[in-house]
Amino acid sequence: MKVSREGWQWTPSSGLKAGLPSIGVIEPTQNFQSVNETFDVVVIGAGYTGLTAARDTSTNGLNTLLLEGRDRIGGRTWSSNIEGYPYEIGGTWVHWFQPHVYRELSRYGLNEELVHSTDFTHKRNFFSFETGTGRREMSHEEEDELFSRAIEKFVNVDGNLGRTVMPFPFNAHWNKDVLQYSNLSVADRIAQISHDLSSDEQHAIEAFVLLCSGGTRENSAFLDFLRWWAAGNYNYKTLLDTIITFKLKCGQSGFAIKFFKEALATGNFSYAFNKTVSRVDFSSGIVQVQTVDGQSFQAKRLICTVPLNVLSKVQFSPALDRAKQEAATLRHVNQCVKIHAEIQDPDMRSWSGVTYPNNGLVIGLADGRTPAGTTHCVFFGCNANLHGDEDITKTLKAVKRFAPMDVERLVFHNWSKDEFAEGAWVWYRPGMETKYLKALRKRQGPVLFANSDWASGGWRSFIDGAIQSGTEAAKLVRDELKSGLRCCRL
C-alpha cells in the first residue's frame, strides 16, 4: 500500500507517526514528458470537483491536464486503508438523496458498496450525554427525540419548519424572505428561542450544529444550517440519514479512483501530483499556470478548484475580483477536528455520545467494525480546539471522557494546518453567503472557479456539491471549446 505524507497514526506501541497508507496515492506521480503543448483545459486540484471536471472534459475529447499539490487524489475527502479497513479522513457519508454523488456512485456500479455507520444491535446500545450538569445515558430513541425536538425549534423560523422560507434547497434564495436570516449567527438564533429551550435542548442544538459547522456559535451562519435542514427534507431523521448514516465499504478513495481511472482511459488526460500552483496569468487570453517548482503550463481554459481558505495563496493576474479577494481573506469558519479511534470492545459498536461544552471533542459515534473485530468510533470537535498531532495525551483523554474505552489506535489529519485546505467543508460566517456566494461562482475570462465551497445546490459543503460544481464547469468549458463543431441548430 502506498503511503501519503498526510495524516497521523498513533498506537500504544509505536506512538505518533506521520503519514497514512491510502489507495488514493498516485504513482507514478505524473504521466507526461513534455509540457510544451497548449492544453484545452488545466484543472487545479484533484478533489471531487477537479476529478469530476477532468473526467468530463477528457471523456468529451478535450486535452486535459490535472495539477495537484498533494501526493493523492480526493482533496478533503480520502480514506486511509489500515489493516483492511478504510478510515475516512475527511468527507465520509453519502445518500441517494444527494443527487450528484449518488448518480456517480450508481454509474460506477458502487450501489452495493453502501454500508451503515450505525448498528444498534450490540450490547452498549445507548447514547451518553455529558453536559455541564453531569453525565447520563439514554436510549437512541430518546436521543433522537431530544435532538429532533430541539433542532425543530432551532429551524422553525416560519412556523412551517423552514418549508415556507426555503421551499427549494437547491435554489435556496428562491423565496427572498429567507434573506432576512442572512446575518444571523447560530448564537443569535439560539438567543431568539432561548425562552423555549430546556438546558438539554440547548446543549443538543449546540453540539449538533457545531458538529455541522466546525466553528463556534458566534461565527457560524444560521443560513447554512437551514439549507442542510431543507435539503434533508425538513426532518431530523432524514437529515441524519442523508449526512451521517451511509458510507462506502471501499472507502471514499475507492470511489474517487474511479473518476481518475476513467479519465486516464481516454488517452486525453495528463496529470501531475506534488505540483503546487503558485501563479495563474490569463492576461493574454491563454492561461499560463506556474507551479512552485518553476514549471509552466498553458491552456485555453482553467478550472480552478482551490478551496476558499487557501484561494489567496495563488497569485492571479489579472487579480481576483475584489469580492473573491474579500471572501478569501475572511475565510470560512470550519476548523473541524475529526479523530478516528479503534476501540477494543466490540460492544461499543452501538454507542454514541456528546460531551459539551467541557471537552475538546463534542460528538462521538460508533462508525464500523474492523476486520479484527474491534470497534471503530469517530469523534468530532470544532474550532480547531484539539488537533491530535499537537497533543496526543489530551486527545486520548478527550476520547475517554465520552465513556471508558481501551484505545488501540488513533487515526486523523490536521485539516487546519493542511496547506491545501486550511479547514474542512465550507461553513460561512453570518452575512457571507448573501454577500459573496454569487461572486465566488463568477468566472474571470478563461478561468472558471469550481468548488463545493460555493456550489449552488442544496448540498454545498458536501461531496455532492463538489461533483455538481465540477460537472457544471466541465460542461461550460466543453460547450465553449467544442462550439465550432456544431453541425446544426434546432
478 binds a second copy (CB under 8 A): yes
Using alpha carbons, select from 200, 484, 206, 439 the residue that is nearest to residue 322.
439
468 binds a second copy (CB under 8 A): yes
89, 80 contact by CB (below 8 A): yes
Listed in order, strand segments (DSSP E) in 133-251 are 134-138, 246-248
114 binds a second copy (CB under 8 A): yes
For a second copy, the closer CB: 113 or 188: 113
Q: Measured from the CB of residue 117, what is the shortest distance to a second copy in angstroms?
A: 13
102 binds a second copy (CB under 8 A): yes
Write out the H or E segment, with its range, that includes residue 144: helix 140-155
SS3 letters across 39-58: EEEEEECCEHHHHHHHHHHH
- Residues binding a second copy: what is the number (CB under 8 A)? 53
For a second copy, the closer CB: 16 or 179: 179
First to last CA, the chain: 52
Contact positions with a second copy (CB under 8 A) in 212-271: 231, 233, 235, 238, 241, 257, 260-261, 264-267
Q: Measured from the CB of residue 384, what is the shortest distance to a second copy in angstroms?
A: 33
What does each C-alpha distance from 424 to 167, 169, 234, 418 come to in angstroms? 27, 22, 24, 9
177 binds a second copy (CB under 8 A): no
> DSSP 3-state assignment of 313?
helix
What does each C-alpha distance from 202 to 140, 361, 365 come to in angstroms? 18, 17, 20
For a second copy, the closer CB: 103 or 435: 103
What's the maximum distance between 2 C-alpha atoms anywhere in the chain? 72
Query: Is residue 77 part of an annotated ligand binding site?
Result: no
For a second copy, the closer CB: 73 or 378: 73
Q: Map residues 392-431 to x or -, x wherever contact with a second copy holds by CB under 8 A.
A: ----------------------------------------
Candidate segments 165-173, 194-202, 217-225, 346-354, binder of a second copy by CB under 8 A: 165-173
DSSP category for residue 269: E
Query: Is residue 277 part of an annotated ligand binding site?
Result: yes
Q: Map residues 28-47 to x or -, x wherever contact with a second copy holds by CB under 8 A.
A: ---x----------------
175 binds a second copy (CB under 8 A): no
Using alpha carbons, select from 22, 194, 59, 116 the residue that is nearest to residue 350.
116
Q: Which residues sit opposite 130 in a β-bridge?
A: 135, 355
486 binds a second copy (CB under 8 A): yes
Q: Which of 377, 472, 477, 481 binds a second copy (CB under 8 A)?
A: 472
325 binds a second copy (CB under 8 A): no
Rg (CA), the chain: 22
Q: Which of 100, 301, 413, 429 binds a second copy (CB under 8 A)?
A: 100
170 binds a second copy (CB under 8 A): yes
What does each C-alpha distance from 342 to 57, 93, 148, 352, 457 come to in angstroms? 41, 19, 29, 14, 35
For a second copy, the closer CB: 15 or 159: 159
Listed in order, strand segments (DSSP E) in 334-402 are 337-343, 352-355, 363-369, 375-381
11 binds a second copy (CB under 8 A): no
Q: Residues annotated as binding site for FAD?
A: 49, 277
Residues of this chain that bind a second copy (CB under 8 A): 26, 31, 59-61, 96-103, 106-107, 111-112, 114, 116, 167-171, 174, 231, 233, 235, 238, 241, 257, 260-261, 264-267, 456-458, 468, 471-472, 475, 478-479, 482-483, 485-488, 490
